[in-house]
Structure 1
Amino acid sequence: MANRAPHTQQSTEQLKQDLNHLTQTIEELVNATADDSRSNIKEMRERAEKRLKETRERLESRGERLYSDARDSIGQQADACDQYVHDNPWSSIGIAAGVGMVIGMLIGRR
């Protein structure tokens, strides 16, 4: 887990930079439209579209990485739980019975 912290911080910083660049480009586009110079508007629009596309691709990539990391982590946790149950069957039965009793009592109160 400690290994993921620098990666997460780096991703957060990159996201901040991407959004900052996109914001600057949009501001430039807004300022360019105030001039009503057709060539200037076209150039700013192209830059804004390019940065928007780049930012979208980076966000999608990060989302896919986060999904993959979460899926791997859940898989590892499920494997660890399965191993615990195999190593400690009676403890697992006791825990399951206790949880079942608590849930039964909570449902019974309704």
Structure 2
Amino acid sequence: MDHIQQNGKAAGDDELARSQAANATARDKLMSDLQNVIHEAESWLDDSTDQLGAEAGKARRHFEDALLTAKSDLRRLEEGVLARGRQAARSTQVYVRDNPWKAVGLGAAVGVIAGMLIGRK
């Protein structure tokens, strides 16, 4: 039985590491995309102040398209984070169900530490 728990624990650790790596990659890509959008928006706004009529409308449409792309990326990132959060909650639930006394001990330890920190202030 210990062998099964160890394999399950190792698999859970690997899954957690993959999830964290995917989260970091998604966050880095989003930040890069948002920086590009901001840079493009600033250049379009600078260009649109010098242009009149149809050219200004074209710059505004480019700006709106960039903002829609950024919003879409944010929505996808949010959905991914929520999905990983749900998976982490399920993993925690399985761990607590399989190891109730460890979970109680961990909860008590966190409570003691929190109490000590609050008591210091």
- Per the normalisation by structure 2, the TM-score is 0.67
Runs of 4+ aligned residues of structure 1 deviating over 6 Å after TM superposition are none
The Cα of 1:81 is off from its aligned counterpart by: 0.6
* Per-residue Cα deviation, 1:10-42 (whole angstroms, up to 9, x for no partner): 55555455444433432322232xxxxxxxx10
The Cα of 1:85 is off from its aligned counterpart by: 0.3
Contact 1:25 1:44 in 2 (8 A): no
Contact 1:25 1:47 in 2 (8 A): no
Q: Which has the larger radius of gyration?
A: 1
- 2:105 aligned residue: 94
- 1:58 aligned residue: 69
The Cα of 1:95 is off from its aligned counterpart by: 1.0
**Greater relative contact order, per chain length (Cα 8 Å cut-off, separation 6+):** 2
- 1:81 aligned residue: 92
The Cα of 1:48 is off from its aligned counterpart by: 1.5
| CA shift in 2, pair 1:8/1:95, >3 Å | closer
| CA shift in 2, pair 1:104/1:50, >3 Å | same
Match 2:48 to one of 9, 17, 29: 29
- 1:36 aligned residue: none
Count of aligned pairs between the two proteins: 101
Contact 2:30 2:74 in 1 (8 A): no
Unpaired runs of 5+ residues, structure 2, are 1-17
User: Percent of pairs identical after alignment?
Assistant: 24
- Per the normalisation by structure 1, the TM-score is 0.72
Unpaired runs of 5+ residues, structure 1, are 33-40
